[in-house]
Structures are given as structure tokens and as C-alpha cells.
Amino acid sequence: MKCILYLTFVLCSNIFVTSGRFLIQDAHISVPHMIKAAGYPAEKHRTTTADGYILQLYRIPGGRREKENFKTSTKAKEAVLVMHGIFGCSTNFLIMGPDRSLGYMLADAGYDVWLGNLRGNLHTAHLNLTRDNPKFWEYSFHEHGKYDVPALIDKVLAVTGLRRIMYIGHSMGTTSLLTTLALRPEYNDRVLAFVALAPAVYFDHMKSMAQVFIKTFSISDFLRSQGIMSASLKPELQDRLVANICSVKHSKDNICTLLLQVIVGEDLEQTDEDVTMQLMARIQPASWRQLEHFGKIALTSRFTSWEGGILGPVKPYNMSNIKVPVLLLYGENDQVAEKSQVMRLARELNTSGIVEDVRPGCSWPKFNHVDFLFAKDLGTLLNRPLLKRIRKLFNKYGLKISIA
Ligand SMILES: *[C@@H]1O[C@H](CO)[C@@H](O)[C@H](O)[C@H]1NC(C)=O
Ligand SMILES: *[C@@H]1O[C@H](CO)[C@@H](O)[C@H](O)[C@H]1NC(C)=O
Ligand SMILES: *[C@@H]1O[C@H](CO)[C@@H](O)[C@H](O)[C@H]1NC(C)=O
């Protein structure tokens, strides 16, 4: 079946004119190259988790206007670790460029910016396991939280000499940190505040979808049995699909944009047609278990561990362990991290932790799950006001920052 699908796509895509080649190539330049091309200093770091995954981190240690002297001043800077969600990677916070993407805006605002990568995406590998080994894909956000986020935080602390950093996550990048803090409470002392963009924890509104896809038809098990180990496409196939099928210029006629918006919420006004193909070409692999674990949460309505699988016991993560001050921002039209579900999370976190605030990310009523990363007016709608909130959080909670 895999072959037939593949052949069909290849044959179909050859019928179309390949107009998108140049953009596709752009999508594969290295991250440090991309950052430098935008006029910023860039560094590449890597860390290895306790269970053998190798994760790349990219650092923007200075802004556009700080040329050479950023190296000497870096030590004293406040550091922010920024984490992507499912199907994402570190470039989620760069792709819209200096005046819109958070990575650059944080660097220009004077922070030491670290962009993390969680196991599974193409900026990660394993010491012993290749990507076609099914064992490589035996993880969900549980392992992201238990191993990856701690390794990434510790790397930033080790390089900067700081004792505490701020963490900003989008979607599953928030689930991962919450899991870290619940499983390994000692990390509460290493994170001074947490900005949760479109936090993806509860999915009561997706119960029936999870019922159909995961419980009733076991679609992921079927695909596994067909040798499809992960929720991803072969890179060549993905390029081909994107170049041929997603290259329609107008969002309202673009099948890729329309399909995506069915899932994340419709917002054609904030869809930037110029970057759509880049986004599609950069969609990252995920494990089936990532989707299944979220499915278990949707089915049980609890923030439960994966233990025992989809039909296994319900063992909620201990939210009382989460003490880091959290700012939660949701999109009014986010169909993935829906407002009511974010409010529920905020109530639960506030019973034993500190919820700074829970509010809409911006005033745009159609703001959806991926607008947090890719909205056309991202800089003015979300990120500029967000920088002010980040400043306030540092002022309030960052006083005890000191070199270890
Ligand atoms: C990787 O392989 C080496 C050599 O076989 C072994 O010693 C090590 O424990 C393995 N590490 C992991 C994380 O699997
Ligand atoms: C959850 O953690 C708190 C401490 O943060 C502890 O008092 C409580 O017993 C834990 N609950 C469970 C069910 O383990
Ligand atoms: C959190 O709880 C405190 C009381 O314990 C309350 O004053 C505050 O408004 C709550 N914050 C949010 C965002 O719900």
C-alpha cells in the first residue's frame, strides 16, 4: 500500500509544472546559515539524552545591531529556551523573518535565544538507532518531558553559566515542559517562568475523533503493520508534493492550506501565501505514539501517562509538582488547543502553582493554532506585546538570576 500511495503521488505530481523548486531548496538550508543570512550571529550546540538521542540546539546570542561585542556581553544576558510543537522544529520561530518571528525578536530585545529540538524531528538522531528502526519511534511527549527537555535545559545552563532560564513553548512544546516539571520537580528551580503558547494538554473536544481514528480503527497500528513507522513522508516525496500541490498562490484555492486549516482553525486572512510552501516543506516527522498519547488523553479526559498504552491504566501526571509561574495564551479560533481546554488547564495549575495570567494571545478573533508561529501579522499581533510580557516576567521572577 505504501508503494501504491507513493507511486500515485509521484505520477500525479509529474503532471503538474514544477514551479516551486527554488523555495524548496531554501527550506533545506542549515539553521545557522539561515540565522546568519538574516543578519544575526548563530551557534550550533548539541546534547545527548540519558537514553541516547542526540538533539541539536541553535543559539542566537545577539541581535542584529550587536555585531562583535555580543561575545563579551553574553554571560550576563537573560536566556530563553524556545520549544516547538508536534510536526515542528526550531525553525518554527525563525521562518517569518526578523520583524515577525519570535527567535529574532527576542534576540533584538537583548535576550540570549536558544531554539531547542525534540526527538524525532530532522535535527535529532540517536546514538545507536536509525530512523528505520521501529525502536527509534517508541516515544511520545512523555519522553520529550522526561529526557529531552531536561537535557536541553541543562545544556543551556552549562554553556551560559546561568542558574535559571525562561522557557517558551508552543503546543506540544508546552506539554513537554509540564511533563518535565511533573516527573522531575527539581527542574522547577531551573526555569524562572514559563510562557505557554496554545498549550496542548486537554482535548475533550476531540474525543469523538480520537474514538474513530485510534480506538475503533487503530489506524496507526494498521500503518505500522504496513511498515510505515512514523507520521512522516520520505523527504523527496514531501518536496515533490509541496512543490507541485502546495504551490498554488492563493490560499483559498490551495489544497494544502485548506487541509491544514480544517485541523487548526480557519484563518485565511492571516495566511501568508509567500511562506506556505516553506512551511509545508519543513513539516517534521512525528511518532505514531505522539498522536496516540494525545488520543489517550482525549479519550480519558485526563492528563495521563502512556503507561500500558491506549487501553492501559489512567495515571495522571502530578500537576501539584508544577510550581513555575506560567503565562497561558490561547487563540480564540484554535481548534487544537481550544479555549475551554486551556482554561481548564489554567484552573488546575493554579490550585497549587502560580498562574500569572490566562488570556487570548491577541485580539484577532480568528487566531488559530499555527498563527502563533506563522500569522501574516505575527510581529504586531502577537510578538511585540508578548515581548513586554516577557520583560515583566523577567523583572518579577528573574531577580535571583546569577551565575552558578
Ligand atoms: C549504544 O550502543 C553501545 C555499544 O553497543 C552501548 O554500549 C550503549 O549502551 C548503547 N546506548 C544506548 C543509549 O542505547
Ligand atoms: C503529588 O505531588 C505532591 C507534592 O508536590 C504530593 O504531596 C502528592 O502526594 C503527589 N500526589 C500523588 C498522587 O502522587
Ligand atoms: C489563581 O488563584 C488565585 C487565588 O488562589 C486567584 O486570586 C487568581 O485570580 C487565580 N488566577 C487565575 C489566572 O485564575
- Residue ranges and CATH numbers for the domains of the chain are 23-232+286-397 (3.40.50.1820)
CB 124 within 8 A of CB 287: no
Phi, psi (rounded to 5 degrees) for 20: -100, 15
Is there an atom of ligand 1 within 6 Å of 50 CB? no
Determine the atom of ligand 1 nearest the C-alpha atom of 128.
Answer: 1
Distances in Å between the Cα of 329 and the Cα atoms of 91, 102, 132, 367 are: 21, 15, 37, 11
CB 213 within 8 A of CB 185: no
Q: Whose alpha carbon is nearest atom 5 of ligand 2?
A: 321
Mean pLDDT for all residues in the chain: 86
- How far, in Å, from the CA of 401 to the mean position of ligand 2? 28
| Chain Cα centroid distance, residue 60 | 18
Give per-residue burial for 363-379: e unless 16+ CB within 10 Å, then b: ebebbbbbbbbbbbbbb
pLDDT digits (tens, 9 = 90+) for 281-306: 788 899 999 999 999 999 999 999 99
Instruction: Reply yes or no on whether the pLDDT at 11 is more than 70.
Output: no
The least confident of 106-110, 208-212, 328-332 is 208-212
Phi, psi (rounded to 5 degrees) for 308: 80, 0
Q: What would the grid cell of residue 209 be? A: 475523533
Model confidence band, residue 157 (pLDDT cutoffs 50, 70, 90): very high
Is there an atom of ligand 1 within 6 Å of 129 CB? no
The least confident of 144-148, 221-225, 348-352 is 221-225
Cell 511585540, residue?
A: 384
Q: Whose alpha carbon is nearest atom 11 of ligand 3?
A: 355
Top mutation candidate among 355, 356, 357, 358 for ligand 3, by most atoms within 8 Å of CB: 355
Is there an atom of ligand 2 within 6 Å of 186 CB? no
d(C-alpha 249, C-alpha 247), whole Å: 6
Q: What would the grid cell of residue 313 be? A: 491504566
% of the chain at pLDDT higher than 90 = 65
Give per-residue burial for 152-178: e unless 16+ CB within 10 Å, then b: bbebbbebbebebbbbbbbbbbbbbbb
What is the structure's pLDDT at 242? 73
Residue 211 burial class via C-beta count within 10 angstroms: exposed 0-12, middle 13-18, buried 19 and up: middle
- How far, in Å, from the CA of 299 to the mean position of ligand 3? 28
